Each structure stands twice: as structure tokens, then as C-alpha cells.
A = this chain, B = another copy of it.
């Protein structure tokens, strides 16, 4: 196995990603300098991806980098923030070689360019024998003071909405494991991409400032994450099963096997936004969807402040669909 020394890795693969930002100090210093715009506050989040847990050992390295970046940007999106830069703490696994790292850095570079943000700093270390690749990204964003979308503001009567389609990532992971073959190669590609390269809903998140009463990104699973809004807001919610937006690829899979419904309700890793808005904003939603080029669907409503903080899913027959307990557990 060939692997260049850490300082050379940083100089050749990662320092170029910091070039656009003077505050990154060319990754040659102990820390980076960051100034939020006047009147703005900073949003900070950190998320770790581990080989064999949050991505598969044979996932393309460039997409691994992009997933690590995007799950963090998704957290910024859920707050309504604009990303301003990231730090990368990379612990190399004992099998992480130069070939992997070059491809990883290329994917990372492409995405930083795509989202127009610099690498601000980081730390590169090596795991002892047997240790996996561990990627921790810390993302910084900003938003006007006091405008952050939180989890705790949902009110009885609010509409419950989601972006995009739900359940694709969970089906993509099953497809990769040959557990649930999709109906076609095209569908397979679509679902796998949703698992490997989520789309952080940054434009929508920022557009929801001042409109959404609560917001988060769906990483644990639809019901579990709507449950998080309910717990913090101290409300309950009702989801209408047939209004959940499901992609054609997922729909085909479901029509073959309706019992796979739990993958839609409980599968994680979609990184779509789930949010609540006062009913008066119903007409604004299609405008927002158009402005931000993001599909939005109303999937239910906030039912009441009954202290139970539970999430019910209603079927076409008007009866409750029983949801599997707990969220999505990785592996």
C-alpha cells in the first residue's frame, strides 16, 4: 500500500482547497479566521462518517467525501443558514491508500467548488491497525441574527411539509446490499445516488426563514425526525400516508412489495427538509418551491398540544398505520 506522509497529503491534496480563503491561512497555521457578515450570527455543526457504518467500503471515494460534506451542509440548510466554510478532521484507516485519497480529494474539491465554499482547516491523523477511515466535517454557516429555524416552534394547526421525495436513500442502501433489487438499472442508479450523494436543501432552508415555525433535515427517518420536532415543540402530528412524496423508482419497488412501507416511514439518510408552516402560508409554498427549484409537499399537520408528542400515520381507509418504533439505526 502506498500512502504519502500526512504533511504531504495536506500540501498536495487539501491546501489547494483552501486557496480561495485568506482566513484559512493556507492550512499552514494552527487555526482559521472567520468573520460573519455584519448583523449575522454563526451556525456551527459537526458530523462524523465512518467506513462500514455510514458509507460502504466500496463506495466511490469522491462520493464518500461529498456525502461527508453534504450531510453537514444539510444541517446548515435545516437552520436556514448560508454555508461559509468547513473544517475536515480525517483519520485515515489502515487500508486508506493514495489512490483512494486522490479520488477522495477530487470529489471533495468538486463539491466545495459547487457549493462555493473553502476548506478552512483541519487535522489529518492515522488510525492504528484495524482502525477504519473516520471523517469528521465541521461546517460553518451564517444567517441574519435571530432568524435561525429551530425545532421548537411548531404550533397546532401548522402544515407539515417535506422537500423532495422520501425513502429513496434507504432503498438505495438495500439495492447496494442486493437486498431489494430495483425494477430497472435506471432506478437502481437513482436510488443509489440518493444514498451516496444527498442534496442539501440550502436554497429552500434560507427561503424558509421567517416562514417555517420548525425545521430539521431527515436523517433518522421520516417518523423519527417529525417526532423530534414534536418532542421539542411539545405537539403531536399526523401524516397522511398517500401524500408522502415518493419517487417513481421507490414507487415501483413499493408496488411490488407493500410491506416495504416501513422503509419510507422509518428509513433514514434522505436529508430532505421536514418543516412546519402556519396554514396561512399554504399558497406561498408553491412559490417557494418554484423560487428554490425544490419540490415541496404537504404531508400532514400538527394536531395538538396534547403532551403525547407522538406522530400518527393515517392510511387511505382512515385508520392509523402502525409505524415501526424508533428511528433508523445504521447497520
Q: What is the interface of chain A, defined by CB distance below 8 A to chain B?
A: 25, 28-36, 41-48, 50-54, 75-76, 78-79, 81, 87-89, 91, 120-123, 125-128, 130-132, 134, 136, 138, 140-141, 145, 148, 150-151, 216-217, 228, 232
Contacts and interface: CB of A to CB of B under 8 A. Distances in A.
B232 A52 contact: no
Given A32-B44, A35-B36, 7 more contacts: A30-B216, A31-B43, A31-B45, A34-B43, A46-B123, A48-B89, A48-B91
Given A48-B136, A138-B87, A151 B28 contact: yes
A46 B150 contact: no
B36 A79 contact: no
For A42, A128, A131, the residue with the greatest tally of chain B CB atoms inside 10 Å of its CB is A131
Contact of A126 (B32, B47, B53, B141): B53
B31 A44 contact: yes
A51 to B, nearest CB: 8
A48 B76 CA distance: 23
A40 B88 CA distance: 24
B150 A25 contact: yes
Contacts of A30: 45, 75, 78-79, 216-217
B87 A44 contact: yes
Contacts of A123: 46-48, 136
Contact of A134 (B44, B79, B91, B216): B91
